[in-house]
Amino acid sequence: MTQEAPPARECYEEADLLEAIERCFDLGWTDGLPVVPPVPNLVERFLSQTSRDPNEVIWTMSQLRRACTVELAAINAAMAGCRPEYFPVVLAALEATIDEGQPGVGGWQSTTGGGPLHIVNGPVRTELGFNCAGNIFGPGFRPNATVGRAIRLIILNVYGIRPHELDQSTQGTSGKYTLCIGENEEESPWEPLHVELGYAPNESLVSAVHVRSCEFVDHRHSAEPHHILSDIALTISRTGTGAHSHMRAVVILGPEHAQALARRGLSKQDVKEYLVEHVGMARAQVRALGRSPVSLTQAPTEEDRPGMFAPTVHHADYEDDGAPDEFLPMIAAADDVLVVVAGAPNAGVSAVGHPLGLARALPGRAMVDAPMSA
Amino acid sequence: MADVILLERRGVPSASICTEALKASANAMAAIQGMPGYRYAVIPHPVSSLGDDEIAERAKLALPQVLDILHAKVEAP
């Protein structure tokens, strides 16, 4: 359904509710699921959660000449099914998504079709009930389900990046409906992500990474760090992620894995450095995939304006004459790996998120403003 | 598509080349940029997986279209 106009506050009586839900479909304001009609008094309740001017522009996508204001964000958060008190988190999630830099360089329109993974840290997780433990990527928790959905509705409805039009996804991913997790700070052996990034433990932060998919790593037969991390490194190394000489990875460690690693004395930094050393493949394997010309290029320079496509430039004059058994690393630096701990401590299961290219920031980040009522 | 239309607006004669598979997003972007129906060269998909000879074939298909577009008068709105 092509969208006829951007969402606006519609006036409906309660008796018209079912008709209003259908009207939102007719107007092209949905992700395919029913939305909550953005009746004026509901949108007002969202706007009352922030001191920001409803007309304040959060970000303009210059190539589309479309901007999201605080009011448009509130309308879409209401439609996504958020409770009004989630609104400061929605604003932070949107700003973190922008901060990462992908939307400005076409990440939302990419053929590999990913979307933002949002990671919530700090007290707001427990205050609002974000799921940080079992089934983090699955259904059942309103904050996770609706905050991520609000960002997707903003991408669809405000920026107009819709499938079969500006969204060029070949296959897309179910994570485009919502992909919002809380870090399991309570069962992590390490400092939480927001503290690692320089924020205070009592501050709340949303981090964002554009991922093309998240993939499980089932490793429950050994608690040896090099076994666990080799399995994770193999998953990251796979050609599906790109097999470029410069790429990034998000590692969402289940608490069981994280605790096993910490028990043997590994820090988060140790995990990152291990992966820098071990993510990659032998030159012969890269050749077998026919990827040498696009894979073995130099790092993007300042002049290349590091962005999503810089590492995929085909170097026609590249001489692939190295030794077949030479190991070719794919991650340049520890800062290109993001490690978070989430999930239930009930099995040796972790996940790897595959980011798109080299965005401006890893991760994008934005603090959650304290609620107005606090 | 957006870049090419912005160049046209600055008076720089420009032509965009697009594969069949990406026409939908090209048309959508042209409409957003205020130039619905903006003409561009169309070649078969794909491009990125082709060898040098096949790329040359694509170029042969694109060239006359590009020249035609560059020689045509386009009124920027």
Residues of B with Cβ-Cβ distance to A4 under 8 angstroms: none
CB contact under 8 Å between B25 and A168, yes or no, is yes
| Amino acid A305: pLDDT | 44
According to the model, what pLDDT value does residue A270 have?
98
How remote is the C-alpha of A186 from its chain's centroid?
22
A334-353 pLDDT, tens digit per residue, is 999 999 999 999 999 999 99
* Average pLDDT, rounded, for chain A: 89
Beta bridge partners of A366: A206
Contact B22 A165 (CB under 8 A): no
CB distance A65–B32 less than 8 Å? yes
**Per DSSP, what are the bridge partners of residue A253?**
A341
* Closest chain B residue to the Cα of A2, Cα to Cα: B28
Residue A291 has pLDDT above 80, yes or no: no
Quick one: what percent of chain A has pLDDT higher than 90? 73
| pLDDT surpassing 70 at residue A232 | yes
- Of A15 and A182, the structure prediction assigns the larger pLDDT to A182
Beta strands in chain A (DSSP E): 57-61, 66-69, 115-121, 180-182, 205-218, 249-253, 280-282, 327-329, 337-341, 349-355, 364-367
CA-nearest of A286, A266, A271, A252 to A181 is A252
pLDDT at A307 over 90: no
Task: Quote the pLDDT of residue A77.
Answer: 98
Structure confidence at residue A1 (pLDDT): 47
B29 neighbourhood in chain A, CB within 8 Å = 63, 166
Q: List the single best residue of B3, B16, B19, B32 to mutate versus A (max A Cβ within 10 A).
A: B32
Q: Is residue A319's pLDDT more than 80? A: no
Say whether pTM exceeds 0.80: yes
Taking the C-alpha atoms of residue A288 and residue A291, their distance in angstroms, rounded to an integer, is 8
What would the mean pLDDT of A45-65 be, rounded to a whole number?
A: 95
Residues of B in contact with A168 (CB under 8 A): 22, 25
pLDDT band at A287 (very low <50, low <70, confident <90, very high): confident
Residues of A in contact with B24 (CB under 8 A): 164-165
Mind telling me how many Å the CA of A52 is from chain B's nearest CA? 29
Q: pLDDT of A122-171, one tens digit each?
A: 999 999 999 999 999 999 999 999 999 999 999 999 999 999 999 999 99
Whether residue B44 is predicted with pLDDT greater than 60 in this model: the reply is: yes
The β-bridge partners of A328 are A281
